[in-house]
């Protein structure tokens, strides 16, 4: 019964609590028991808040009209949850306890969710695998010798294993869509600016928050919870014409869908991932949509290096922030070689060069956005490879950036969506001959989640 509860949709769980058929305490206690049983083998959580979660659940009674009152949720360890460590997967912040809730956490709590703990992520959220030196690797519930993806890998593993019925994540280069693909989950990267970056930032060029779920219906309902302007936001996405949940519940009508298996950078795509896209394209055609094979204008000389420079500046800012929290300048001994290499890269780029890199990436993005406006969606692989074996991206001591380049070959289809700001969703539409999930990705037009 415990495992079954954690596999049920979040609206159904909330309805059980609201009716009094199940108490919030029973539901949260079930999640905590599952974590105690399964997490020692998977290492999805950094901290589990048994006492705080149960106390919050005790305060929720039958009749609570909040849409998700009493439903447990995991929070990725790079968003502040009051009273819990905010680690960003790094040693410098390993002892820092947040005294406030991030805006996303506040909205989740206001909707009635009960956070049960914070989840593991790669150091500073850099890699598409979750193997931080500070907290150890998180393992994929489908195959414990493989990664659950990253950077929201702890959240994905917790959900896929049935420790929680839903989990928070965020995406700066694929960090929701990659672990969703590795773990057989639904993972939406919303439109840039859809979810506020309050209270720390006015906006973010690459990163947007969201959730990992088992169904598109739950994803849509949670986007209604998380979306919307917060005073002080520098930029924001236009509000939808109707609630996202309403859009997800009705037929979309006949859509124009392009598909491709050609990645934006040089990378070999696993035949099983190619077949999954081709099968999905055939399915969409059978459903009555207009489906055509096409080549998006997303290949450009030096694209991987350009994105790496823009990403490196963002990483350097994050590392500098951890130094402010720690009260001292970060050193190479504080972090993994790749983190230090990206920090050094970011610091080596002067302000004019950084602005020029951002402008060049925006110019490339405009071409892709203009092209995709001629369609309703683009279908492509979510990943180029199967979930990687644990340790494969550890890198070489002499050239830590080699691990960064190798990561790009694993995830060539995800980062450009962060550069463009376009919404994209990973959907688990197939299984390979190893029993591992295989996902496809749908890319939308601007603000078309």
**Which residues are annotated as catalytic?**
76, 151, 175
The CA-atom distances, in angstroms, between 386 and each of 23, 86, 340, 389, 439 are 40, 31, 28, 9, 10
Q: What span, in angstroms and rounded, lies between the C-alpha atoms of 308 and 319?
A: 16
Q: What is the DSSP letter of 22?
A: S
Q: What span, in angstroms and rounded, lies between the C-alpha atoms of 417 and 227?
A: 18
The residues that bridge with 47 in the sheet, in sequence order, are 118
3-state SS, residue 227: strand
CB 258 within 8 A of CB 296: yes
| Structure-block tokens of residue 410 | 């694993």
Other Cβ atoms less than 10 A from the Cβ of 317: the count is: 12
Pairing mode, if any, of strands 424-431 and 186-189?
antiparallel
Q: What span, in angstroms and rounded, lies between the C-alpha atoms of 75 and 69?
A: 16
The CA-atom distances, in angstroms, between 84 and each of 76, 115, 118, 119, 169 are 11, 10, 8, 11, 17
CB 179 within 8 A of CB 148: yes
Q: What span, in angstroms and rounded, lies between the C-alpha atoms of 277 and 158?
A: 27
CB 205 within 8 A of CB 433: no
The residues that bridge with 167 in the sheet, in sequence order, are 74, 212
Q: How far is CA 438 from the centre of its chain?
A: 17
């Amino acid at each position: 019964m415990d495992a079954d509860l954690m596999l049920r949709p979040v609206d159904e769980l909330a309805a059980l609590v609201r009716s009094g058929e199940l108490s919030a305490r029973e539901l949260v206690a079930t999640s905590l028991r599952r974590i105690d049983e399964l997490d020692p083998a998977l290492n999805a959580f950094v901290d589990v808040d048994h006492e705080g979660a149960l106390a919050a659940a005790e305060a929720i009674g039958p009749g609570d009209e909040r849409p998700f009152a009493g439903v447990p949720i995991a929070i990725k360890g790079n968003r502040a949850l009051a009273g819990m460590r905010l680690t960003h997967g790094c040693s410098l912040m390993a002892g820092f306890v947040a005294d406030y809730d991030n805006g996303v956490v506040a909205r989740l709590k206001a909707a009635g969710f009960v956070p049960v703990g914070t989840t593991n992520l790669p150091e500073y959220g850099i890699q598409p695998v979750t193997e931080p030196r500070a907290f150890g690797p998180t393992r994929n519930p489908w195959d414990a010798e493989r990664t659950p993806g990253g950077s929201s890998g702890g959240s994905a593993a917790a959900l896929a294993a049935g420790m929680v019925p839903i989990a928070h994540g965020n995406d700066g280069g694929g960090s929701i869509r990659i672990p969703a693909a590795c773990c057989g989950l639904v993972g939406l990267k919303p439109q840039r600016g859809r979810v506020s970056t309050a209270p720390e930032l006015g906006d973010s060029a690459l990163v947007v928050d969201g959730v990992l779920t088992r169904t598109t219906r739950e994803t849509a309902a949670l986007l209604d919870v998380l979306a919307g302007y917060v005073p002080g936001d520098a930029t924001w996405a236009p509000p939808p014409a109707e609630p996202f949940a309403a859009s997800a519940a009705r037929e979309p009508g006949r859509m124009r869908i392009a598909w491709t298996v050609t990645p934006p950078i040089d990378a070999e795509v696993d035949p099983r991932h190619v077949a999954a896209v081709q099968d999905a394209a055939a399915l969409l055609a059978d459903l009555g949509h207009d489906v055509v094979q096409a080549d998006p204008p997303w290949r450009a000389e030096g694209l991987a290096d350009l994105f790496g420079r823009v990403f490196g500046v963002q990483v350097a800012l994050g590392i500098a922030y951890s130094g402010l929290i720690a009260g001292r300048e970060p050193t190479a001994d504080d972090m993994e070689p790749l983190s230090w290499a990206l920090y050094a890269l970011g610091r080596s780029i002067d302000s004019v060069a950084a602005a020029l890199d951002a402008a060049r990436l925006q110019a490339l993005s405009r071409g892709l956005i203009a092209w995709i406006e001629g369609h309703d969606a683009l279908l492509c692989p979510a990943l180029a490879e199967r979930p990687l074996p644990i340790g494969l991206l550890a890198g070489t001591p002499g050239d830590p950036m080699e691990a960064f380049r190798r990561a790009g070959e694993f995830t060539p289809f995800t980062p450009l969506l962060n550069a463009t700001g376009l919404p994209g969703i990973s959907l688990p539409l197939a299984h390979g001959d190893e029993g591992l999930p295989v996902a496809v990705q749908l890319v939308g037009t601007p603000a078309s989640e």
